[in-house]
Structure 1
């Protein structure tokens, strides 16, 4: 079943004294665009988190918000010794340029990343794996909620599009029944017009008259367009029930159907057929709006 690109999911994971909250929002987008907003010290985990999202979502813009709060069981801010040493070494290097002065404790404490949470300190490989697994666990839980909502929204979209496809197929059947009558109606109108203008004074050249009707029948023939339109309608139905992302294929088919309908409207010199074309274009536009949110 096709999925919507609109969804929302959230989760909370307790890990090493922190409540880590995950919030995912997705909207329609031409490609798969994932944007992370999370504490800077977790930037090293972004690649694995991104792969987890990409493994489940094929298309859409996904905003991933990850925040942490101390739940009272973790340590408060601690000194980042590596960063302090780097600042002190930089201060010593500056003295070689003739710059005088010393760093006071107050100055050092005000510098970025001197005081960090324990999770912001350099981690060994084992610690990184623990944190990565914890973040992946919370992300997967939020993704579950997001995918459930995308599935529900997708089922609504599919039902609406299928109802509109039913209407298009009904219009297609009516057009298929009307199309063969177009040359005959033209022949009758043309003969009536000639006889009305000539008022019975001139005989109709049946050979030239027949050639004119045959030429009109060839120009107004829409059999090929109706066949292709029928094929596109069937393909749309099949796409709606595939598990893989189908939004781009659906968009392409809608464009092709619009092209066929426009051609029928320009070729068919018939009021009832033209009215059906107008109705078809209106339904196709509504389908296009709905399909824009299908993954």
Structure 2
């Protein structure tokens, strides 16, 4: 089943008096890029979290957001940075003595200074042993990734159906091109004979006439391009039924189909055929835009 690269997953866990919210969002990307944003004290778990994401995702940019909220009101989630507090107080006293200031630093002013209150050192071995933070984060992220992958599967199924319908239209136009191709040389032959008869009053050199028609028929022949297009259609349908990531392969085949279609357009010297080529190019562009969303 083809997967979309767009998805969203969410989960929540409780641990150590905190509610932990985990969000995972994925968008289009040429490769697999994982970005994790979480509280600084949990950065020691980042590598493990990224490895977990990469087990589920082969292609796309995945942003993981982890936030925590204290659940128990009235409990101080921070500790006083006593060393920094003493430094602030010494600096305040020095300023008061040097410049003759009357007031000193109050407790409320001290608490408003940067980094005076800090989170406990969760990176320490003691803190890790106290609460199973890593296991909780991994478990929550796995649930979020399962939800994200489920959404990517559903979106991928819609894309697959849309692409199959568009390939059906391409094959219909391909059949029309195949039917029109033999008429190009025949129509040119009839028009050329008519013009020569008008100009030469029927005195036409049949040998030279046949050579001219043969050269035109060879120059305007599109059999090879039509055969290659049919092969590309079959490969695309096979890819859409695959369980592996197909986005890059499909993108390559679409480029090849565009190239073959352009070649047919450059060889064509027939109004109906040119119109079909224009329609095919427009449909291929829509397919390319949709396929860019597939993993």
What TM-score results when the alignment is normalised by the length of structure 2? 0.86
CA contact (8 A) 1:8 1:26 kept: yes
Q: 1:74 to 1:21 in 2, by over 3 A?
A: farther
Q: 1:122 to 1:273 in 2, by over 3 A?
A: closer
Question: Is 104-113 or 142-151 further displaced after alignment?
Answer: 104-113
- 1:58 corresponds to which residue? 58
Q: 1:14-163 maps to which residues of 2 (within 5 A)? A: 14-72=14-72, 75-79=75-79, 84-85=82-83, 112-118=114-120, 120-124=121-125, 127=128, 130-163=132-165
Distance in 2 between the 1:249 and 1:74 partners?
57
Does the residue aligned with 1:9 lie in a helix, a strand or coil? strand
Residue 264 of structure 2 is aligned to residue 264 of structure 1? yes
Distance in 2 between the 1:245 and 1:107 partners?
57
Distance in 1 between the 2:197 and 2:180 partners?
26
CA contact (8 A) 2:122 2:128 kept: no
CA RMSD across the alignment:
2.8
Distance in 2 between the 1:211 and 1:87 partners?
99
The alignment covers a number of residue pairs equal to 286
Does the residue aligned with 1:69 lie in a helix, a strand or coil? strand
Point out where structure 2 has 5 or more consecutive residues left out of the alignment: 91-97, 99-104
Q: 1:267-278 maps to which residues of 2 (within 5 A)? A: 267-278=267-278
CA deviation map 1:194-214 (0-9, x unaligned): 1122233xx111111111011
- 1:217 corresponds to which residue? 217
What TM-score results when the alignment is normalised by the length of structure 1? 0.86
Moved beyond 3 Å, runs of 4+: 83-89, 103-114
How far did 1:107 drift?
A: 8.3
Point out where structure 1 has 5 or more consecutive residues left out of the alignment: 93-99
Distance in 2 between the 1:29 and 1:143 partners?
17
Does the residue aligned with 1:274 lie in a helix, a strand or coil? helix
Question: Is 35-44 or 122-131 further displaced after alignment?
Answer: 122-131
